[in-house]
A and B are shown apart, each in its own frame.
Chain A
C-alpha cells in the first residue's frame, strides 16, 4: 500500500439482512459499515452463522440487503435491478466457492470458457489455467481432478475475466493444509500481480496472517478490524 489515501472499492452503510422463517426473524447482518480498498487482500473471520457469506453475497451482487446501502466505487448496488446486477457480476466480480462449483460436464478449460464467453475483456482460458499451475490438466473433467486442482480451476475461472474484485467464500474449506496452501499461493500471486481486490472468508485463523487487513465478524456485525504490519507468505502458514 502506498502512502496516499487508498482508493475505496466497496463501501457499505448500515447494511442489514433479515431472514424471516415463519415467525422467527433472523438478523444475518445487523448494520455493517465497511470500506474495502483497491488492491487489498482482506480476510473475513468469524464464527459460523455470523453473516460472512451473507455480506459477501451482497457485495458480489448475488443478493440484496434488507436495509442499508452498498456502493461499488461510485455505483450504488443497493437497489440495482436484477439485470444491472447481472451485468455488474459479469463485468467486475470473480467468485470462488468452498465447493468449487465446477460444471461436471465441462472440462477444466471449458469451465473457464464458461466465464470468458460472456466477459468483455477476458484472458484466454489457457492462460488463466497456466496461472494456477494447471497448464497440463486443461482437458480433464472435474471428476478426474483432486479437490485442490478443482479449486484452482475455480480460481482460474474467477480470474480469467480479469476481475477487479475476487470474492472467495472458504476457498480452502474443503482442502487439506498442503493443498490449501497451494490455493492460497495462487490467490496471493493474483492479488500481487494484478492488484485485484481480494476478499477471503475463512474459518482458519492462521490464514489471516497473509492478509493486509483482517475483519472480524460476530452476530451480524463487525467486531474488529485490524491491519497486519507484516504479512506471511502462504508457504509459511501451517494448520
Chain B
C-alpha cells in the first residue's frame, strides 16, 4: 500500500465519528431510494406479470340483466380480443363458528370450466363441478382468515334460500389483488370473501338463466379503450347498464396504481434531500480538512505529487464516506424493502412477488449517493489541487473581520465578548450558517410533515365516522325494497333505531364533463347518516334538486342554480336534468345527495330503500348476528363500530411506524449537521478558545461560545423548519387531493412543538458530545498547533 493511501485510511479512521454522522444521513437517502425504487419495480413488475399471465381484462361493465346472445355482438366490437360474461351477486354467509356476519361476493364460472379472462389461480383443491349447485371455490385469503379446509362448508342466503356450500378449492385472482367489502374502508379477509360457483348455481340463485349481469373484455393491441367503452355502453344500454369503465376505475387496480405512484413520488422527493444534506456536510468537513492540511498539501506538491493526485487523495476521503453510507444504506434498504414487501403481501394478494431489488436499483442508488458526495467534496478537493505549493507552505491568512453596522449595533447593545464572538462567526460565514440552518430546518420539517397527517386524518375520520356516519351498522339489501321493511328491521334483536337510504349509481354530466358516482338519498330527518360539510355543519337536502360536493361540482364545472344531467343507471336508465341546489365542501368522496321522496317521485316509484342504517344495543349483538344470517334478502352487513375501530387501529399503527421512522431520520440529519458543525467550529477556534481559558475564562464560559453558536443556529432554524414543513405538507396534500379525498391542513401548535423538541434536543446532545472534547483540550498543545 502506498504511503498516501495509508494517510487516507488513518485520516478517515481519525474522522470516523464525523464520517459516520454524514454516512448515516447518506444511508437514509440510499435506503429510501433503494426501498422505493425496489418496491416500485417489484410491485409494478409483479402486477404486470400477473395481469399478463392471467389475462386481466381491460374493460368492465355491470348491467342489470342482459341476454346471453349479446356476447357475439360484444365480441364483434372493433378492438375486442376476448369477452367473458358472468353473473355476479352478493350474499350474507353463515359461517359455522363465526360470530360476526360475513359477506360474500359470488361470481359464476363459465359452464365449460375455468374463466378465460381474469383467470383465477388455483391454490388448493379444484374448481367446482360445472353441474354442481353446492360446490364453491373461495379466495385463498378468505379461507386462511377463517381457517377453512377443503371439504369444509358454510351457508349462504342465495335469493331467499339458505344453501350449504362445500369448499372444493381456493384461488387467487388478478381482479382481487386488493379486496375490500362493500362499505368497508380496509380489506378484511375474515368478513369479506370472493366465492366462485358454477354458472347453473349462480344463475339459479340470482335469476339469471340465459342472461348475465357482468362483463369483462380484453382488448387487442392498439385498440382504443374509449371507443370500446362507448360501444359496450350502447349495446348494454337497453338492459340497464351501469356504465362500462377501464382499469383506472377497477377497484383493485386503481388502489395498486395509487400505491405505485406513491412509491414513485417517494423515490423522487425524499432521497435528493438526503443527498443534498450529505453533500453539504461533506463539503463543510472537507473544506475544514483542506484548511487544516494546507501545509501537508504543500508538502505533497513540493515532493512531486501532481495536482490530480492531490485532488484524488481528498476526493477519496469523500468516496470512503460515501462507501460507508452506501453500504449501510444498502443493508438497511434491503431489509426495509423486504419488510415493505411483507407488508404489501398483507394488503395485496399476489400469487408471487417478483422481488427484483435488481442490480440496477443497487447501482442507481449507489451511483447517486457517490456522485452527490464527491460533488460535495469537489470544491474542496479542487481548491486543494489549485493551492500553489509555495503558498501552501505558509500559514493561512487570518479571516478578515470587518467592522460593520452589525458590530456597531452589537457594541451599543453591550453584548458580552463571547456573545459577540458567536454572532461575528455567524456573520463571517453566512453561507455556511445559512446552509446549517437549512439542514436543521429540513430536520424539523421531516417531523412536522407526518404529524400533520395524524391531525388531518383524525379530522377526516371524525367528520366521516362520528359526525356524518353515526350508525352502528349497515344492512345492505340485495335489491331495492319497499320502505316498510324498516319496521321488520326495527324488530330485530339489538336494533334501537332503523333508517332507510337509497343508493343510485349515476352518471352526472354537464356538456362534455362526465362523472360516475352514487347518489345517496335519505329523509331530511335522518339522524344516523347525515350530510355534513367540512365544518361539521349538517346540510339540509331540499327536494327539487341535487346537492353536490365541491370536488364533483368543480369537475363538472357547475355552480349553484345550474342544471346537471343525471342518468340513473341499472334500472330504466332515465336521464333527468336536475338543478344543483347546493354545493358543499367535504373531505372525501364524490358525494351527491338527494331527497328520498323527491327521488321516488322523479322515478315514479313507490317508496323504497336499498340500505338500512341501524343503531344497536351492544348487549344483544350476538343475537342480531345469529338472526341476520337467516335473513334472505341481505346482500351484506357492515358493522360500523368494528370498521371504525379497525380503521383507527390500523391508522394509528401505521402512523406510529411512520412517525418513528421520520423522527429517526430527523435525528440523523440533526446529528449529522450539528455534530459536524460543532467539530469544525471547535477545530477553527481551538486556539482562540484555549487563549480565552489561559486568560482566565472558565470552562463553562468558553463552552458557552461553542454551544451558543450551535444552539443559536438551531433555534433560528425552527421557524424556517415549521414553514418548510407546512409548505411541503400543503403541497403534498394538494397532490393527493384526487378524485377521492382532500386532506385538511389542521395547524396545531403541538405539531411544531414536537418537531422542535426533537431537533433542539438532538442538536444539544450533539454539541455536548463535542463539548467533552473542549474539556479534554490540552491548553498547551492547543496553543502550539500550527495551522
Contact = CB atoms under 8 A, between A and B. Distances in A.
Interface of A: 57, 60, 62-63, 82-83, 86-87, 89-91, 95, 97, 99, 101, 103, 105-106, 110-111, 113-115, 117-119, 157, 161
18 contacts: A60-B302, A62-B393, A86-B305, A87-B304, A90-B305, A99-B295, A99-B786, A101-B296, A101-B298, A103-B296, A105-B10, A110-B6, A110-B7, A113-B2, A114-B4, A114-B7, A118-B305, A119-B304
A119 B305 CA distance: 10
Contacts of B302: 60, 62, 89, 95
Interface string B369-388: 00000000000000000001
Contacts of A62: 301-302, 388-390, 393
Nearest to B295: A101
A114 B300 contact: yes
B695 interface: no
Interface residues of B, number: 26
B431 interface: no
Interface string B274-306: 000000000000000000000110111111111
Contacts of B301: 62, 86, 89
B303 A115 contact: yes
Contact of A106 (B7, B305, B786): B7
A90 B6 contact: no
Given A63-B390, A105-B14, A83 B306 contact: yes
Contacts of B303: 89-90, 95, 114-115, 118, 157, 161
Nearest to B304: A90
B304 A118 contact: yes
Given A86-B305, A95-B302, 5 more contacts: A62-B302, A101-B299, A105-B10, A106-B7, A110-B6
A83 B393 CA distance: 19
Contacts of A105: 7, 10-11, 14
Nearest to A91: B304
Given A62-B389, A87-B304, A105-B14, A117 B296 contact: no
B14 to A, nearest CB: 7
Interface string B295-325: 1101111111111010000000000000000
A186 B2 CA distance: 27
Nearest to B5: A117
A157 B305 CA distance: 14
Contact of B3 (A57, A91, A113): A113
Which has the most chain B C-beta neighbours within 10 Å: A110, A114, A115? A114
Contacts of B306: 83, 86
Given A62-B302, A86-B306, A101-B298, A106 B390 contact: no
Contact of B7 (A95, A99, A103, A115): A103
A215 B310 CA distance: 35
A110 B4 CA distance: 8
Nearest to A118: B304
Closest 7 CB pairs of A and B: A90-B304, A105-B10, A113-B3, A63-B390, A114-B3, A62-B390, A62-B389
Which has the most chain B C-beta neighbours within 10 Å: A83, A101, A106, A119? A101
Contacts of A87: 304
A118 to B, nearest CB: 5
A111 B296 contact: no
A117 B2 contact: yes
Contacts of B390: 57, 62-63
A129 to B, nearest CB: 13
Nearest to A154: B299
A43 to B, nearest CB: 20
Nearest to A97: B393
Nearest to A95: B302
A115 B304 contact: yes
B392 to A, nearest CB: 9
Nearest to B781: A143
A86 B304 contact: yes
Contacts of A114: 3-4, 7, 300, 303
Interface in B337-357: none
Contacts of A101: 295-296, 298-299, 393
A13 to B, nearest CB: 21
A101 B300 CA distance: 10
Contacts of A82: 307
Which has the most chain A C-beta neighbours within 10 Å: B7, B11, B309, B390? B390
B238 to A, nearest CB: 87
A84 to B, nearest CB: 11
Contacts of A118: 303-305, 309
Nearest to A98: B393
Given A63-B390, A114-B4, A103 B299 contact: yes
Nearest to B395: A99
Contacts of B2: 113, 117
Contacts of B298: 101
Which has the most chain A C-beta neighbours within 10 Å: B6, B304, B786? B304
A99 B294 CA distance: 13
Contacts of A95: 299, 302-303
Nearest to A113: B3
A110 B389 CA distance: 21
Contacts of A90: 303-305
Contacts of A161: 303
B211 to A, nearest CB: 86
A218 to B, nearest CB: 22
A85 to B, nearest CB: 9
